[in-house]
Structure 1
Amino acid sequence: MYFAALLARTEDGWKASDTELDDVESLSDLTDLAREASVDEDTVLVFIEQEDAWFGVIRVDGEEDPRIYVSNASAAARSSYGEILLTDELLGREPGAEVTIAALEELVGLDGTEDGEPDTPDNHDNHDNHDDNAGTDDDDGPDADVVPAGPLGDTGVLSDLGLPEAELLMLRTDAMAEIADALGAAEVLETVR
C-alpha cells in the first residue's frame, strides 16, 4: 500500500496535501507537480511511502534540481513509483543504462554453450576463475549496475529543516510521521492521511 503527500513551506508554516501519482511517469512529472504546489518558489517536499518496505523524499526548491533520498533502493526498484526516483544519476550510471541493463537481463540464463562451446568442467573452472576477478577491472558487467540495498541519495536533504542525516538514516517504518514531526508539520500531514 502506498501513501504520497506534498508538504509545501509557506510563511505560516507547512501546508500539506495528498497527491495522486497515477499521472506521474517520470521524475520530471513529479518535480512539476511539486513546483505547482510551491508558494513563492519555497521548499516543497514530496513523500512516497510503501508500507514497511521503503520511503522516498523528493525536495524541490524553486527551479533547482530536485534532491532525492530513498530509504531502501533495492525495495524501491521493485516498485513503479520507486523506479521514478531511481534515476541514472542517483544510481551513478551513465544515462540510458537501463537499456543496457534490460539487454543484460535477457542474457542472464546464457552459459556460453549457445555458441557451440561444449559444457565441460573446464569451461566452468574458467568461468569461476573469472568471477574471482569480478569487480576489479570489469566495470561493464551486470554487477556494476545492481541497485544497492539500503539508503541511496542525498542524506542531508532534510538537515536544514530539522532532521539530521543520522536520524534520517535510522528511520524505517512510519517514517513520514517521524519526518513530519521533526519538521513541525505532524498535524497538517495527519489531516491528509
Structure 2
Amino acid sequence: MYFAALLARTEDGWEASDTDLDDVETLSDLTELAREASADEDTVLVFIEQEDSWFGVVRVDGEDDPRIFLSNAAAASRSSYGEILLTDELLGRDPASDDDLDELVDLDGTEDGEPEPAAGFDEDEAAEGSADTPAVPPGPLGDPGILADLGVSARELFSFGSDALAEIADALGASEVLETVR
C-alpha cells in the first residue's frame, strides 16, 4: 500500500494535501505537481512511502532542481513510484538519449552486431548491474541533508523507523496537517 502527500510551506506554517500519483510518470511531472502546490515558490515536500518497505522525500524549492532522499533504493526500484525517483543522476549513470538506444537495438531486441544471449544467461543477474550500468544500491540513496535547514539532520533521517514520514512531519511541526490527509 502506498501513501503520497504534499507538504507546502507557507507563511502560516505547513499545508498538506493528499496526492494522487496515477498521472505522474516522471520526476519532472512530480516536480511540476509540487510547484503547483506552492503559491509563492516556497518549499514543497513530496512524501511517498510503501508500507514497511521504503519512503522517499522530494524537496522542491521554487525553480531549483528537486532534491531526493530514498530510505531504501533497492526496495524503491521494485515500485513504480520509486522508479520515478531513481533518476540516472541519482544513480550515478550517464543518461543515454532514447534516439541513440533506438539506433543500437535491432528488431530482435539485441544490439546491432551483438549475439543473442547464450543459454544459461541469467536476466536477474544482469538486472543487478554491470560495469556499464551500476546496480541500485540497497539502503539509503540521495541527499541526506535534504531537510537539515528545516530541523531534521541526516542522522535523524537515517534513524527513523517504520513510521518515518510521521516522524519527519513531527520534527517539522507538521504532524497534525499530515494526519489530516492520511
Does the alignment reach a TM-score above 0.5? yes
> Could you tell me which amino acid in structure 2 is paired with residue 156 of structure 1?
G
Aligned to 1:48: 48
Q: CA RMSD in A?
A: 2.5
Per-residue CA deviations over 1:78-109 (Å, capped at 9, x if unaligned) read 00000000000000001039969x979x9486
Aligned equivalents of 1:103 and 1:154: distance in 2?
A: 36
Aligned equivalents of 2:36 and 2:42: distance in 1?
A: 11
Scaled by the length of structure 1, what TM-score is found? 0.78
> Could you tell me which amino acid in structure 2 is paired with residue 65 of structure 1?
D
The structure 2 residue matched to 1:173, chosen from 162, 167, 171, is 162
Deviation at 1:110, TM superposition (A): 4.7
Q: Could you list the runs of 5+ residues in structure 1 that have no partner in the other structure?
A: 112-139
How does 1:9-158 map onto structure 2 within 5 Å?
9-96=9-96, 107=117, 110=120, 141=130, 144-158=133-147
Aligned to 1:191: 180
Deviation at 1:142, TM superposition (A): 5.1
Q: Which structure has the larger Rg?
A: 1
Instruction: Give the direction of change, closer, same or farther, for the CA distance of 1:145–1:181 in structure 2 (3 Å limit).
Output: same
Per-residue CA deviations over 1:32-53 (Å, capped at 9, x if unaligned) read 0000001300000000000000
Task: Determine if contact 1:88/1:96 at 8 Å carries over to the other structure.
Answer: no
Instruction: Give the direction of change, closer, same or farther, for the CA distance of 1:50–1:58 in structure 2 (3 Å limit).
Output: same
Instruction: Give the direction of change, closer, same or farther, for the CA distance of 1:40–1:146 in structure 2 (3 Å limit).
Output: same
Q: Could you list the runs of 5+ residues in structure 2 that have no partner in the other structure?
A: 122-128
Deviation at 1:171, TM superposition (A): 1.7
Aligned equivalents of 1:50 and 1:103: distance in 2?
A: 35
Q: List structure 1 segments (4+ residues) > 6 angstroms apart after TM superposition.
A: 97-100
Percent identity (aligned)? 71
The structure where helix makes up a greater share of residues is: 1
Instruction: Give the direction of change, closer, same or farther, for the CA distance of 1:11–1:82 in structure 2 (3 Å limit).
Output: same
Instruction: Give the direction of change, closer, same or farther, for the CA distance of 1:41–1:144 in structure 2 (3 Å limit).
Output: same
Deviation at 1:145, TM superposition (A): 1.4
What SS class does the counterpart of residue 21 from structure 2 fall into? coil
What SS class does the counterpart of residue 157 from structure 1 fall into? coil
Deviation at 1:166, TM superposition (A): 0.3
Instruction: Give the direction of change, closer, same or farther, for the CA distance of 1:103–1:172 in structure 2 (3 Å limit).
Output: farther
What SS class does the counterpart of residue 45 from structure 2 fall into? strand
Instruction: Give the direction of change, closer, same or farther, for the CA distance of 1:97–1:83 in structure 2 (3 Å limit).
Output: farther
Scaled by the length of structure 2, what TM-score is found? 0.82
Number of matched pairs? 163
